[in-house]
Amino acid sequence: MSRRLRAVSTGLLPLAVAAVAWAAAPSAAWPANATAAPQQASDSVSTAEGTTAMSPTDSALEARVRELSSQLRCPTCRSLSIQDSPSEMAQQMRQVVREKLQAGESPEAIKGYFVDRYGEWILLKPKASGFNWTVWVLPLLLLAGGVIFVLTTARRWVERGREREAALLDGREGEV
C-alpha cells in the first residue's frame, strides 16, 4: 500500500467509526437539551440577580413543544425527530410548532399541518390505517410464519429420527 493511500485510509477510518457510532446512537451524540437550550433562553425572564428563569407557562409550553417535536421526523436528518436534530430545518420546524401552540392550536391540528406539507412520512409513528396496516401487521405475520416453519421442520426432523431409530432396532438398516 502506498504511503499516500495509507495516510488517507488511516485519516478517514476514525471519521468513519465516529459516523457509525453517531448513527447507532443519535440520542447520545445529540442530546435533546443541546438544541433546546438556546430557544429556552430567548423565552426566559430576567431576574434581579441577572440570571434568567422560566415562567411556569413558558416551561409548560416548552414541555409541550418538546413532546410534539419528538413525534415529528426531521426532513433533513430522516432518522431523527425535529427535537433531536441539530439541523436548521428542524429548528425552524420547532419554532413553527412553538408558534402554533402559543396560538392555541391542538397537537393534532399541528401534526395535520405538517402531514399536509410533507406527507404522512413526517410522523415518526404513522397511524395504523389504510396501507399503513401492512407496516404494523406484516412483521407479526412474518414472525408467525417463521414459528410455524420452525415447528414443522423440527417435528419432521424428530419423526425421521424416530423412524431411523426404529429401523435400526428392527434390523432393517438397508430400508432407512
Q: Quick one: fold of 31-127?
A: Helicase, Ruva Protein; domain 3 (1.10.8)
For the record, the C-alpha cell of 137 comes out as: 401487521
102-133 pLDDT, tens digit per residue, is 999 999 999 999 999 998 889 888 776 777 77
Please determine, for residue 52, whether its predicted confidence score (pLDDT) is greater than 90. no
For residue 157, name the pLDDT band (cuts at 50, 70, 90). very high
pLDDT attached to residue 172:
64
CA atoms within 13 A on the CB side of 166: 6
pLDDT attached to residue 154:
96
pLDDT attached to residue 14:
52
pLDDT cut 70: percent of the chain above it? 64
Residue scoring higher pLDDT (67 or 27): 67
Q: What is the mean pLDDT of residues 64-85?
A: 91
pLDDT attached to residue 25:
46
Q: Which residues contact 136 (CB under 8 A, 6 or more apart)?
A: 128
DSSP code at position 76: T
SS3 of 100-142: the string is HHHCCCCHHHHHHHHHHHHCHHHECCCCCCHHHHHHHHHHHHH
- Prediction pTM value: 0.48
3-state secondary structure of 55: coil
Give the start-to-end residue ranges of the domains of the chain.
Answer: 1-28, 31-127, 128-176
13-35 pLDDT, tens digit per residue, is 454 545 545 454 444 344 444 44
For residue 77, name the pLDDT band (cuts at 50, 70, 90). confident
